[in-house]
Amino acid sequence: MASLRATFRLSGLAKVATRHNTLAFTAVRAYSTKHQGLKDRLKELIPEKREEVKKVKAEFGDKVLGETTVDMAYGGMRGIKGLIWEGSVLDAEEGIRFRGLTIPECQKVLPAAEGGSEPLPESLFWLLVTGEVPTKEQVRGLSAEWAARAKLPKFVEELIDQCPKTLHPMSQFSLAVTALQHDSKFAKAYQTGTVKKNDYWDTTYEDSMDLIAKLPNIAGRIYQNVFKHGKHTTAIDPKLDYGANLANLLGFGDKKEFVELMRLYLTIHSDHEGGNVSAHTTHLVGSALSDPYLSFAAGLNGLAGPLHGLANQEVLRWITKMREELGGKDVSDDTIKDYVWKTLNSGQVVPGYGHAVLRKTDPRYSCQREFALKHIPNDPLFKLVSQIYTVAPDILLEHGKTKNPWPNVDAHSGVLLSAYGLVEQDFYTVLFGVSRGLGVLSQLIWDRALGMPLERPKSYSTAAIKAMYAKK
């Protein structure tokens, strides 16, 4: 039966490959040996990939990817093509593909938990690292491995416990990840001066696995300390998967739907190609051979910005404020319109709407909407988020500034969390951060395996631009 299912999945993937023969597509490969562990598989893939990259550079090295204009340099480098990112590619119209697979395709082919239907984040991580769909056994192996690596050093627990409750959870998160650097295998190996560049990936892999494994414990501890009077009664259960353990540590493990939500949430927030702030920052800092802890902590600091990951807390704040301002009156399309205009006229952004790359509704929004339609169709907040979806884009279009009037991932995540009782908005970006670790750390392993150099783009001053182009 297992092999039949594997054959079915493979033929499904083959179809995906022929349907989407685009630039955005990276072929998903056949299953690796059924019981092979992730590191062993990676060991086999690295020489192949190095050879592939060598050939690509030899054949296309002098091709032009795109032009850079002065406007682009002043405009946040939007659209400048200058990064390599293996795990995912973002298409403005279609949205994200993880190693060539859309989110619905991932939902179809990636292994789910026994009795569940959402992909397990472990399987997504395997896909991001190898480009292959893992077997259930391989996913179970990864769950067990992460559980075994999950314990936090005592001093990190104490460090988190010492944080004032008023310190934002994202700052606590970043602090804890930085402190874990104490045990970095990469940093220690580098210090010995005996490790060859070709082997840097090995300790980067070990650090990344340790770090990912510990993220639920960090997130759970922060949540319990800040919002639940420091109850630490739950521990990682080696028999459970990553999402279920995270749900347990937050205190929601008894809610089956919440556990499924965690699995989906952790899968879809993981990776969004290389140019977004958290991904690019992790990659940039990593290029200085800072270890995975320092690199990811830097990425988390970027994720904590309101134009990036923090938007998920801002969305719920914005909606809550709208309800408060209405003072219990019914929310109609007109009241939403007035509120959106009020936000725009006061010079603020409408959180959860717009995107630097996307020009359509974010598929990460759509799949969360599907989840809500399946599990919480009558939730009043979900209904309100849906109503805003029907009203806000037209106003943003009329306002005429944003290039994309459609909702992004952050417009929907808070409503799902709050429906199950996770109502503490300041915590939401931490969950985004746990998931983002899967994407950016899988890439960091490849950065090291491919010997990616120090990143150092050229900058100019305004005086230099004038000197270059002003008519003499």
Give the binding-site size for ligand CMX (rule: CB under 6 A): 22
The yes or no reply on residue 388 touching ligand CMX (CB under 6 A) is no
- Tell me the HSE value of 44 on the side-chain side, using a 13 A CA sphere: 10
Please, which of residues 402-421 interact with ligand CMX by CB under 6 A? 402-404, 408-410
Nearer to ligand CMX, 201 or 365 (CB): 365
Residues 429 and 170 sit within 8 Å (Cβ to Cβ): yes
Nearer to ligand CMX, 240 or 303 (CB): 303
Nearer to ligand CMX, 223 or 432 (CB): 432
Report helix angle 136-148 to 121-130, nearest 10.
100
By beta-carbon distance, which residue lies closest to ligand CMX? 354
Rounded CA-CA distance 63/58 in Å is 10
Instruction: Tokens for 343, please give them.
Output: 């936000």
Exactly one of 271, 291, 362, 410 is catalytic; name it: 410
The yes or no reply on residue 349 touching ligand CMX (CB under 6 A) is yes
**CB-count burial class (<10 Å; 0-12, 13-18, 19+) for 400:** exposed
Window contacting ligand CMX (CB under 6 A); options: 173-181, 224-232, 243-251, 398-406: 398-406
Q: What's the chain's length in residues?
A: 472
Rounded CA-CA distance 365/272 in Å is 13
Q: What x/- string results for residues 301 through 340 when contact with ligand CMX is judged by CB under 6 A?
A: ------xxx-x-----------------------------
* DSSP sequence for 318-383: HHHHHHHHHTTPPP-HHHHHHHHHHHHHTT---TTB--SS--S--HHHHHHHHHHHHH-TT-HHHH
Tell me, yes or no, if 229 is annotated catalytic: no
Query: CA distances (Å), 82 to each of 85, 270, 465, in order?
Result: 10, 21, 20
Exactly one of 20, 168, 355, 412 is catalytic; name it: 355
Tell me, yes or no, if 254 is annotated catalytic: no
Minimum distance from residue 350 beta carbon to ligand CMX (Å): 4
DSSP state of 302: H
Minimum distance from residue 304 beta carbon to ligand CMX (Å): 11
Tell me, yes or no, if 168 is annotated catalytic: no
The yes or no reply on residue 286 touching ligand CMX (CB under 6 A) is no
Nearer to ligand CMX, 75 or 238 (CB): 75
Number of H-type helices and E-type strands within the chain: 21, 2
Minimum distance from residue 365 beta carbon to ligand CMX (Å): 10
Question: Quick one: which of 98, 126, 353, 406 contacts ligand CMX (CB under 6 A)?
Answer: 353
Rounded CA-CA distance 217/148 in Å is 12
| Beta bridge mates, 346 | none
The yes or no reply on residue 354 touching ligand CMX (CB under 6 A) is yes
Cα diameter, the chain? 76
- Catalytic positions are 308, 355, 410
Contact positions vs ligand CMX (CB under 6 A): 78, 276, 307-309, 311, 344, 349-356, 401-404, 408-410
